[in-house]
Amino acid sequence: MVRKFSESSTRRQFLRQAALGGVLLYGWNVAAAGRLCALRVGSHQQGVRLVFDLNQRLTAAPVIRSVGEVLHIELPGIEHGLGRPAVPTLGPLQGGAEMNKSATGLVLRLPLREAVRWRSFSLGPGRGASYRLVLDLMPVAGTAVKSPRAHPVGRAGRPIVVCLDPGHGGHDSGAIGAKGTREKDVVLDVGLSLARLIRSTPGMRLVMTRNTDRYVPLMARMHLGFAQRADLFVSIHADAFPERAVRGSTVWTLSETGASNAAARWLAKTQNAVDPLLGDIQSGVHDPMLNAVLINMTQTAAMNSAVAAADVMIRGLAAVEDLHNATVQHANFVVLRAPNVPSMLVETAFISNPEEEQRLRDPDFRRLLARTMHDAIVAHFVKAPPADSAWSVTRHVLSKKENLADVAQHYGLSVEALRLANNLPRGEGQPGEPLRVPITGA
């Protein structure tokens, strides 16, 4: 997928191009280890420019290669000096990034929307800047990555119904960060981005509790998922806690017996209390309808299915955000009480934490959250499609000539959804490995 920019240029031409751009080149001959201090991404000509700020020069030339639709950038002798980098959807970049240590340094993996050619050069410190590695990525004409939305068509059946519930809205702002960021705005934006992805997925139907800034009572949200016979109900929130240092994502499912811990009881109480119609419920007044709902849920597999889906969601979020809890948590949220509807509540990050509030203010990060949640939803239904739905599952045996990106594209998945559906670690699968893949009736 990646073609080296200089393969049709002589070294002299490359140096001339660099000189015309005001570039000071340095050799790769310093042996000391270095540290990545920052990564900046911006538009440049017809593509994008990535600038790696380093505390010193690289010990060797960077190694750039592609594996399917992912660009690998290896920085020899560099240590991890950043948190998870925020890479926007820009030009040929799909958005999002993964950064890991390797035996020789640091590896950055960037998902691509189309094939690219590249050039890189080094800059010395000056004008207040540090040492820098500059990488220009330019799209190769006519090589756009095909949309991963063309699942092989199988049996006829009803579409899978996903009900999205962006929390709060209208007079209920939800939590508010130190910079004034309102939870209701953040989660609506994430929800709308996720809704677009679900609508583009063959064999799925979307239901939303709200798609504008309006207040919807908690019972009405729960009843909508029930009335629409949703196969999955996902309520989206941005967490808050009195201690500002608390951070990370959490995924919740219903507990009929009690909350996981004191924090769970506190959160459920604050979330449920926003609905004035539930005042009697919070006071312990007997409500036959709600009791019947809880009894119904104990008699079905909905809660077990919800936990399975939430586990996939946690594994997906772990790739893009710190986890506050690495296992599914349980609390008595009203919106999760619908009978026969597997339901989860996703706290994307702590808006009460200043660093996480800043990330939630970033539109690219919110889109990354939406893509990650979509990957997890798709992966869940690859693992467990409803019996009467348009989706079914088959096995694909990985051949020696294939990589995961090839398989994912053929079956209309992202690579991450394929990994989540098959519990695959990072790296390529092994030839002969059987993979669960979807067949849909759109």
Confidence of residue 183 (pLDDT cuts 50, 70, 90): very high
Angle (nearest 5°) at CA 258 between 254 and 264: 75
Contact call for residues 433 and 97 (beta carbons, < 8 A): no
Do domains 2-144 and 160-381 share one topology? The answer is no
Separation of alpha carbons 34 and 58, rounded Å: 7
In angstroms, how far is CA 369 from the centroid of its own chain?
A: 4
One-letter-per-residue 3-state SS of the chain: CEEEHHHHCCHHHHHHHHHHCCCCCCCCCCCCCEEEEEEEEEEECCEEEEEEEECCCCCCCCEEEEECCEEEEEEECEECCCCCCCCCCECCECCCCEEEECCCEEEEEEEECEEEEEEEEEECCECCECEEEEEEEEEEEEEECCCCCCCCECCCCECEEEEEEECCECCECCCECCCCCEHHHHHHHHHHHHHHHHHCCCCEEEEECCCCCCCCCHHHHHHHHHHCCCCEEEEEEEECCCCCCCCCEEEEEECCCCCCCHHHHHHHHHHHCCCHHHHHHHCCCCCHHHHHHHHHHHCCCHHHHHHHHHHHHHHHHCCCCCECCCCCEEECCHHHCCCCCCEEEEEEEECCCHHHHHHHCCHHHHHHHHHHHHHHHHHHHHHCCCCCECEEEEEEECCCCCCHHHHHHHCCCCHHHHHHHHCCCCCCCCCCCEEEEEEECC
Q: Both tokens of residue 301?
A: 């597999």
19 has pLDDT over 80: no
pLDDT at 14: 40
Contact call for residues 297 and 337 (beta carbons, < 8 A): yes
Q: Both tokens of residue 375?
A: 């990957």
Coil vs helix vs strand at 356:
helix
Instruction: Compute the average pLDDT of residues 418-438.
Output: 88
Q: Which residue would you say has higher pLDDT here, 429 or 366?
A: 366
93 has pLDDT over 50: yes
Q: Which of 276-285, 331-340, 344-353, 424-433 has the highest mean pLDDT?
A: 344-353
236 has pLDDT over 90: yes
Its CATH architecture, for the domain 160-381, is: 3-Layer(aba) Sandwich (3.40)
**CATH, domain range 2-144:** 2.60.40.3500
Q: Both tokens of residue 199?
A: 């609508």
What residues are paired with 40 via a beta bridge?
Answer: 51
pLDDT at 6: 39
SS3 content of the chain, % helix, strand, coil (to 5): 30, 30, 40
Separation of alpha carbons 137 and 140, rounded Å: 9
Contact call for residues 422 and 435 (beta carbons, < 8 A): yes
294 has pLDDT over 90: no
Separation of alpha carbons 218 and 97, rounded Å: 36
The predicted-structure confidence for 219-228, as pLDDT tens digits, reads as follows 899 999 988 9
Kindly report the average pLDDT of the chain as a whole number: 78
Q: Minimum mean pLDDT among 117-126, 158-167, 205-214, 233-242: which range?
A: 117-126
56 has pLDDT over 90: no
169: region left, alpha or beta (phi > 0 left; psi from -120 to 50 alpha) = left
Confidence of residue 381 (pLDDT cuts 50, 70, 90): very high
Confidence of residue 105 (pLDDT cuts 50, 70, 90): confident
Domain range annotation of the chain: 2-144, 160-381
pLDDT at 55: 85
Separation of alpha carbons 272 and 283, rounded Å: 12
pLDDT at 159: 93
